[in-house]
Structure formats: structure tokens, C-alpha cells
């Protein structure tokens, strides 16, 4: 603690009362705020307090207490503490609010009670408050308010992106089954699979409903053998496990081991023409979940009517189609899970940042060098509220070719997310990736106009237009000066990512295979490989001799390209051959810019 600061107990600084009402005293649409122990603020038609106060929740089922600040007329629940400052020339309300937010973790540790955790008055009165001079309190509050407003906005954006990431896979999954092919056979579910209620008698790994993560099918249990007292069903790697209790929880598992499960879980064995992974995805899609949930019986313990489920319509593509569909779904599922993990980690980081700033505030570090923290606070605000330099209405018109390229870029950004190779994805690698994408995957018609240049083959004019459009529409921001991650997702990233996945659904596997080959390449390497590809393709189009020497000669179109030796070009040719990236002499000749314009 800094020199000149005092330590006081909260009880020395404030008066503490409680409300008098039951929690159910709330009135929908009431005139005044009604504070309970919930984070949500309710309403009521009468008030008991007319003052400025800090409201501290006095009980909570898990000890997750919260604190609020309000000035005006309000009422309160009998377990809500109303804290009023005795002398505002000694301590500011907002300063005290931040002190108590910083203390919430301690309250959780101190709280007592078995089923419901609660705070005793003495616990609150004895909180030690570091008390700087009033002028310094104002400075601390000013910095914290700005920083926390930015953090809260960043959290809101991240939470929205998290939900969008989860919705992206569901939207794609739903589309797979809704836009089925004409050759898909209409069946009853019972015609393509059956329940297998073989009783277990061996000591094997056990699966209960608590061991299956909702919506994802992730196994949360242990593979260690476990016995249970009740009867169980036997299962193996051939089954799909479906949780019938509370079907809205969407608990479905593809076991990769032999074991036994609760009788609240039905082992389902697919017929010979049904891939169990395809069945798994059919079960977890939202329409199926809703349809099964509508069959439940039992008010207290709702269970799906599994006999009724067997009568559901089930559209069956060929086994070959099923396998292809499953591969694409698995690729997208893995990508969206990486995004989900990334956003969850970002939320955790923002919470940790908030705690760190609070700790520094009340140890005196925050204002010891105020310039540093005020600068950080301003940077946070800018990050949370950044406005594009372009008005969306002036850049919202893209051609079909440009939309395809933008979608490809979004998938490339997503592909690099969370991986160490993310540091390589700058404008040069993005442009070269687009070049390979357009050349290798026949369905991608970007209609770029790449030309020979220092960082060519490239069409940076097109790339920068897409950068501008993405920033103007909050899709992503390109931070050229960033040392690690240069492509930063905006609040609409997942919305457009969903459109990209739907547009590329028929050939998403090809895109992912290409990006996997390009992922490890740094800027210099992908520059070499794209230069080699272009030189080779030019020679083929011009019907000239193709060998290492001629490719190297054609590829050294700029002084900067002279850094590539003949051996470098030889290695690049081997990479292209090994990875099925050999040019076919198609597309446009890549020329010098002046010649491209005049042609």
C-alpha cells in the first residue's frame, strides 16, 4: 500500500441495513427498482429507500455474490444489504463499489450455509478498505470506469461471437438434412437401426448421463472399469448412445470403447447401410431434438418415448454419401470448437484482466504511474468501440467473385485461429493463399488480376478492397502492425463465416485440405511456392520448355526474387508435386502490371 493511504474497516465508513421484503414481492412493470440477491434487477410499485447506496447480495446458492450501485428511490429483499456512506468527503461511493467488487472472492470463501450460502453482517463490517486521499480515489475511479466499460463491451462482443460460433455448426448441420438429395430414401428410423438392451455383467467403463456433454457428444467420464448397483446396458464401438431422460439436454455419444451405461441411455446399433456417425449427427440436430422432446412422458422425470422415435421419418443417402457428409461435418465441427474454445479463453482472460486491474488499484500501483494505466484504459476503450474508417453503405457492393474470395479469407482466418502458425497469416500469405485457392480448386472463381511484383503474384488492390469492406462491416480488422495476430475478428465475423460455410459446403473438404497444406508455411516460403507455381504455369501457357532452370529464370521477375536459389526452386517444385499442387497451364498469364493493364 502506498504512503499516505489509510486502512479502515467498512463498518467505520458506512451504515448497513437490509431490505424488509420477500423475493416474490416484485411486480412486473413496477415503478421502482427492486433489488434481490439476483444479478437481475426487478421492479416494484412502492419504495422504502430514497438515497444513494451500494446493494450487496446477502445470499446465493453457490456463493456467487454480486454488488450494485444505485441512486434514487428503490426497495430491497430482506437478505440484500443496503450500504450507505457516512461521509462522502472521506470515501466515494464508486470507489467503495470497486473495493467490494474486488472483495467478492473473499466473500465467497467466508460465506456459510449448506444448501444456500449467506453472508453475516460481521463479515461485511470487518472488510478492510484501503483509503487514499479523495483526489486519488477520483483518479482511480475514473481509470477503472473507463477500463471496465471497455472490458464489459469486449466481453459482450466475445459472448455474442461465442454464441454465433455455436450457431454456425448447428446452421450448417441443419442445412445438410434439410437440403437432402433426391436419391435419399425415405425410411422409418426403426428400419435402419434398433435398440440394443443387452444387460451388462462384466466390470467395464461406465457411462452415465453426467458423462456426456450436451450438444457436442464429448465424453466427460473415465475409461477406468466401474461397477454400479443398478442394472446397466452393454455397449461397444458399434453403438450410438442416446440419453432419453430430459431429451432437450441433447446427450448423444459415439463411444470409442466397450463399456456399460445407465438404463436412462439407450444403446442404438445401426443397420449395415447406416454409418453410426451419420446417425449421431441426425440425433443432435435441433429439429430432431425438438421432435423427440415432444414425445416425453413423466412430469417430474421427462423421458423420451423411444418407441415413438422409431416411427420418425429418416432420410437415408448412400453409404458413400454418408461418409462424405460426415467428413465435412467433422471438419467444420473441429473448426467451430476451436473458435468456441478461443472465445471462452478470451472471456477468461478478460475476467483475469479485470481482477488484475482491481488488485493494482487497491495496492496503489494503478496511480503510482497513472500515465501507463490511463493509456492502457484508453487502448481498451478503443479496442471495444473501434469504428471503421469506411461507411458500410459506400463499400457494401461486392461482385460474386469478390464475395467468394472474402468467404475463402474468412475460412483461412478461422483455420489459423488458435494455432502457432497464426503468426504467419499476414497480407502476403493471405494473398498467396487466395492465389492457390483460385488456381487449385476449380469451383473458386475469384477473377483476381494478379501481376508480377516484389510480393507477386498478387492482386493487392482486390485484397485491400476486401480488407476495407470487412472493417466497414465489422467482419474483421487487419492490424498490419500487430506482432502476432493481424486478422482480428469483428462482431459480425461468425455471421459471415456461416454464409461462407453454406456457400462452400459442396467442396469445403477440398478447401480445408488445401489450407492444411499451406498452414505451416511462413511468408517467405509461401512466396517462393506461389512464385514457382506461377512461373511454371506461365511457361505451360506459353508452351515453353519447363525445367528447374526455366522456372527459376521466369520466377526471378523482381530483384527481391533473386534471393531464391535454383535449389530453392527445385525444393518448391518438389513441394508442389508432393502435395498435388502442380499447375495445368490454365487461368490467366501473370504479367508485369503495365502489360496486364494493356492486355
Give the model confidence (pLDDT) of 248-272 as tens digits. 999 999 999 999 999 999 999 999 9
In this prediction, residue 396 carries a pLDDT of 55
Mean per-residue pLDDT of the chain: 89
In this prediction, residue 587 carries a pLDDT of 83
Q: Which three cell numbers stand for residue 272?
A: 449395415
**Omega into 232 within 30° of 0, i.e. cis?**
no
SS3 34: strand
In this prediction, residue 1 carries a pLDDT of 59
Task: Give per-residue pLDDT as tens, 393-403.
Answer: 344 589 999 99
Q: What distance in Å separates the CA atoms of residue 238 and residue 253, rounded to the nearest whole number?
A: 11
- The region of weakest confidence among 74-83, 401-410, 500-509 is 500-509
Q: Checking DSSP bridges between strand 32-35 and strand 67-76, what pairing results, if any? A: parallel
Report the Cα 212 to chain-centroid distance in Å. 21
Q: What's the rounded mean pLDDT across residues 496-524?
A: 88
In this prediction, residue 369 carries a pLDDT of 57
Task: Give per-residue pLDDT as tens, 58-115.
Answer: 998 888 899 999 999 999 999 999 999 999 999 999 999 999 999 998 999 999 998 8
Task: Specify the pTM.
Answer: 0.64
Answer yes or no: are the C-beta atoms of 43 and 33 closer than 8 Å: yes
Question: Is the Cα dihedral 556, 560, 566, 570 positive or negative?
Answer: negative
In this prediction, residue 368 carries a pLDDT of 62
Q: What distance in Å separates the CA atoms of residue 572 and residue 583, rounded to the nearest whole number?
A: 13
The answer on pLDDT for 380 being more than 80 is no
Residue in 547, 596, 539 with CA at minimum distance from that of residue 569: 547
Q: What's the rounded mean pLDDT across residues 404-414?
A: 93
More confident residue, 315 or 493: 315
**Omega into 382 within 30° of 0, i.e. cis?**
no
Task: Give per-residue pLDDT as tens, 104-143.
Answer: 989 999 999 988 899 999 999 999 999 999 999 998 898 8
- The region of weakest confidence among 271-285, 383-397, 480-494 is 383-397
Amino acid at each position: 500500500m502506498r504512503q499516505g493511504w489509510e486502512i479502515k474497516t467498512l463498518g467505520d465508513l458506512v451504515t448497513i441495513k437490509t431490505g424488509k421484503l420477500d423475493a416474490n414481492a416484485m411486480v412486473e412493470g413496477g415503478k421502482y427498482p427492486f433489488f434481490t440477491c439476483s444479478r437481475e434487477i426487478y421492479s416494484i410499485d412502492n419504495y422504502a429507500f430514497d438515497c444513494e447506496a451500494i446493494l450487496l447480495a446477502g445470499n446465493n446458492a453457490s456463493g456467487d455474490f454480486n454488488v450494485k450501485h444505485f441512486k434514487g428511490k428503490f426497495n430491497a429483499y430482506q437478505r440484500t444489504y443496503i450500504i450507505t456512506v457516512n461521509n462522502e468527503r472521506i470515501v466515494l461511493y464508486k470507489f467503495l463499489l470497486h473495493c467490494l467488487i474486488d472483495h467478492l472472492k473473499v466473500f465467497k470463501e467466508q460465506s456459510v450455509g449448506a444448501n444456500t450460502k449467506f453472508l453475516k453482517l460481521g463479515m461485511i463490517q470487518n472488510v478492510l478498505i484501503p483509503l487514499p486521499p479523495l483526489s486519488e480515489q477520483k483518479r482511480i475511479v475514473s481509470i477503472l470506469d473507463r477500463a471496465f466499460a471497455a472490458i464489459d463491451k469486449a466481453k459482450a462482443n466475445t459472448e455474442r461471437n461465442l454464441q454465433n460460433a455455436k450457431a454456425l455448426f448447428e446452421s450448417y448441420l441443419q442445412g445438410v438434412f434439410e437440403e437432402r438429395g433426391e436419391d435419399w430414401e425415405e425410411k422409418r428410423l426403426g428400419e435402419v437401426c434398433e435398440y440394443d438392451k443387452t444387460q451388462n455383467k462384466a466390470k467395464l467403463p461406465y457411462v452415465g448421463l453426467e458423462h456426456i456433454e450436451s450438444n457436442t457428444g464429448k465424453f466427460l467420464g473415465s475409461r477406468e472399469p466401474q461397477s454400479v448397483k443398478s442394472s446397466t446396458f452393454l455397449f461397444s464401438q458399434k453403438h450410438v448412445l442416446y440419453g432419453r431422460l430430459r431429451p432437450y439436454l441433447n446427450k448423444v455419444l459415439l463411444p470409442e470403447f466397450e463399456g456399460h451405461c445407465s438404463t436412462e441411455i439407450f444403446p442404438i446399433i445401426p443397420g449395415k447401410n447406416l454409418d453410426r456417425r451419420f446417425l449421431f449427427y441426425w440425433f443432435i440436430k435441433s429439429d430432431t431434438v425438438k421432435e423427440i422432446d415432444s414425445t416425453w412422458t413423466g412430469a417430474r422425470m421427462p423421458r423420451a418415448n423411444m418407441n415413438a422415435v422409431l416411427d420418425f421419418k429418416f432420410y437415408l443417402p448412400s453409404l458413400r454419401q454418408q461418409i462424405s457428409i460426415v467428413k465435412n461435418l467433422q471438419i467444420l465441427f473441429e473448426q467451430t470448437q476451436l473458435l468456441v474454445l478461443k472465445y471462452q479463453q478470451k472471456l477468461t482472460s478478460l475476467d483475469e484482466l479485470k481482477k488484475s486491474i482491481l488488485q493494482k488499484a487497491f495496492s496503489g500501483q494503478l496511480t503510482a504511474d497513472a500515465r501507463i494505466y490511463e493509456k492502457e484504459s484508453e487502448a481498451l476503450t478503443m479496442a471495444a468501440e473501434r469504428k471503421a474508417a469506411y461507411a458500410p453503405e459506400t463499400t457494401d457492393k461486392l461482385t460474386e467473385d469478390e464475395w467468394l474470395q472474402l468467404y475463402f479469407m474468412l475460412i483461412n482466418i478461422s483455420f489459423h485461429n488458435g494455432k502457432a502458425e497464426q503468426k504467419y497469416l499476414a497480407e502476403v500469405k493471405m494473398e498467396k493463399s487466395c492465389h492457390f485457392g483460385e488456381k487449385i480448386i476449380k469451383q473458386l472463381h475469384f477473377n483476381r488480376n494478379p501481376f508480377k511484383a516484389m510480393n507477386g503474384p498478387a492482386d493487392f488492390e482486390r485484397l485491400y478492397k476486401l480488407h476495407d469492406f470487412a472493417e466497414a462491416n465489422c467482419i474483421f480488422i487487419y492490424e498490419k502492425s500487430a506482432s502476432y495476430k493481424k486478422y482480428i475478428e469483428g462482431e459480425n465475423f461468425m455471421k459471415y463465416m456461416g454464409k461462407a460455410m453454406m456457400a462452400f459446403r459442396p467442396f469445403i473438404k477440398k478447401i480445408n485440405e488445401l489450407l492444411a497444406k499451406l498452414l505451416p508455411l511462413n511468408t517467405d516460403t509461401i512466396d517462393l511456392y506461389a512464385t514457382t507455381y506461377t512461373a511454371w504455369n506461365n511457361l505451360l501457357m506459353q508452351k515453353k520448355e519447363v525445367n528447374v532452370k526455366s522456372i527459376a529464370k521466369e520466377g526471378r521477375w523482381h530483384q527481391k526474387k533473386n534471393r531464391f536459389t535454383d535449389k530453392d526452386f527445385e525444393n518448391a517444385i518438389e513441394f508442389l508435386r508432393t502435395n498435388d499442387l502442380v499447375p495445368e497451364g490454365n487461368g490467366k498469364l501473370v504479367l508485369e502490371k503495365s502489360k496486364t493493364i494493356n492486355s
